[in-house]
Amino acid sequence: MKNKFILSIGLVMALSGCAMTPSKPLTFDQLGQFSNTPLNAQSYRISFQARPNMSFGTAEEITLVKAAQTTIQNGFRYFKVLNDPSNVNQPPRKAVVYPTPMYAPYGYYRRYPGFWPDPFYDMPQVVTIDPVQVSYTIECYKDQKKAPSDAFDATLILQSLGQKYGLSPTGQVLAPQMPTTTK
């Protein structure tokens, strides 16, 4: 009997240890699916399909960082996001989902004297139907004189936002840092 108890405690500890192990951070390339298509010598189409748990704003920011990375890696410094019809990004479609109904009649539980209704039972949930997809067509420039006034500076984007997503100021993907735990 004592051995079974020790075995069951060991099993519970082993399974709970797996549940508490933090996941490994993702690198920039693992955040979603990227597509980088050259259109001509200085124009590129940058596309990003995000993971299901990512917001639309974060996906737009990551696509901007990818555009800066593409600009630097192709020998340019400035880029402008062109205003073409396919660049009109719409937020993903969402749907309202209601929970499944109870098996017994709802009135039956209300008549029971010990019944306390769950305040969150009838609350609908909003779920995203479409995966988040963002696409930019960019035109790259080598110097600021030829670049339009509303062009982005790719080095500034990589210096400010690149580190947040694991990129060096030159656009190289850095190894993710494991979160530190204090004991």
Compute the chain's Rg from CA coordinates: 25
Encoded tokens for 142 = 């080598």
User: What is the chain's pLDDT, residue by residue, as a tens digit (183 residues)?
Assistant: 667 767 777 666 666 655 555 567 777 888 889 999 999 999 999 999 988 778 778 888 999 999 999 999 999 999 999 875 555 666 667 778 776 665 555 555 555 556 555 556 667 778 777 777 888 899 999 998 889 988 999 999 999 998 888 888 888 887 776 666 665
Report the C-alpha gap between 45 and 68 in whole angstroms: 12
How far, in whole angstroms, is CA 160 from its chain's centroid?
Answer: 18
| Residue the block writes with tokens 């100021």 | 169
3-state secondary structure of 43: strand
What ranges do the domains of the chain cover? 25-91+131-165
Report the C-alpha gap between 145 and 78 in whole angstroms: 10
Residues 6+ away with beta carbon under 8 Å from 59: 32, 48, 50, 132, 133, 134
Which of 177, 10, 158 is CA-nearest to residue 71?
158
How far, in whole angstroms, is CA 127 from its chain's centroid?
Answer: 15
Asked if 71 contacts 140 with a C-beta cutoff of 8 angstroms, the reply is yes
Report the C-alpha gap between 156 and 130 in whole angstroms: 32
Which of 23, 31, 117 is CA-nearest to residue 69?
31
